Chain A
Amino acid sequence: MKVGIKIMPRDVILDTQGRAVENSMKANGFELQSCRVGKFLELSLVTADQIKAQADVEKMLKQGGLYNPLIEKFEIQFM
């Protein structure tokens, strides 16, 4: 089973990468209000059970260090 994890910097965090992308877009005449850059992880899990998959992925996020709750937020997406 494939599971996606979207990880974004928390709203209070200054996202310098997003700021740089935003400035580049604006400098080239594109219209946008803002840009924030995160990452997307695609995991291929052994299990086909969605409930187990959810639990396993949350464990990876919280115990395996996949995300840092101080500075990031996540969303799990079943694909």
Chain B
Amino acid sequence: MSLKVGITRFLGTNCDEDVRKWVLSKSATATYLWYEDQFNVKDYDMVIIPGGFSYGDYLRCGALAAQTPVMKSVKEFAQKEKPILGICNGFQILCESGLLPGALLANSEQRFKDQWVELEVKQNKNPFAKQTSNGQVLKLPIAHGMGNYYADSETLKKLSDQNQIWLTYKDNPNGALLNIAGITNEKHNICGLMPHPERANAPWMGSSDGAFFL
């Protein structure tokens, strides 16, 4: 039985095909989940929310996508403690949905960042970090204008205390507090990160460290 992965698609999602190929490379099945439709949570083992610019980042990045029918099902999926991964805009959507704490603000240097980054694994207790070890350094690409992770000091303390900080930047590209590149919820089943593991799935892509995530 191969892993059944649902991949959400909103208007403006643009990493859906890359994520599908990444999932298929792991011999899992990939099914697109259209934003206007709810889905049966029993049909999937994992949900991935790919990156892009859902709704053209109108209102706030991820804000309108967070209000769609498919996200109602994603919330139900979350309650069942099944694994959810949000990448880039997917991370922003998870924050706007209230499934992850905090928000992503404009990069502190006021420009879009498209480059390779080095990340440090801070906890490997979540479903997407099992093949990595604490302290391991991963090389992944980023491509975002709004990746500056922000949360109030109380939330940041909670994230640290409860081991919810998943990945940090070695050299902070966007001003994110505590160098945060990725976090999880308290139960570690909902995970979000700004870098793109699906764009680093083979040596010819520049790195194959993204292969560790699935």
Contacts and interface: CB of A to CB of B under 8 A. Distances in A.
Contacts of A71: 103, 105, 150
B67 A64 contact: yes
Query: Could you tell me the dominant secondary structure of chain B's interface residues?
Result: loop
B105 A13 contact: yes
A72 B101 CA distance: 15
A12 B59 CA distance: 20
Contacts of A19: 110
Nearest to B67: A65
A66 B59 contact: yes
Interface residue tally on B, bucketed by range: 10 to 19
Interface in A1-50: 13-14, 16-17, 19-20
Interface residues of A, number: 12
A54 B64 CA distance: 22
A19 B152 CA distance: 21
A77 interface: no
21 contacts: A13-B105, A13-B150, A14-B105, A14-B108, A14-B175, A16-B105, A16-B107, A16-B108, A16-B110, A17-B110, A19-B110, A65-B63, A65-B66, A65-B96, A66-B59, A68-B63, A68-B96, A68-B103, A70-B102, A70-B103, A70-B150
Interface of B: 59-60, 63-64, 66-67, 96, 102-103, 105-108, 110, 148, 150-152, 175
Interface of A: 13-14, 16-17, 19-20, 64-66, 68, 70-71
3 A-B pairs with least C-beta separation: A16-B106, A16-B110, A71-B103
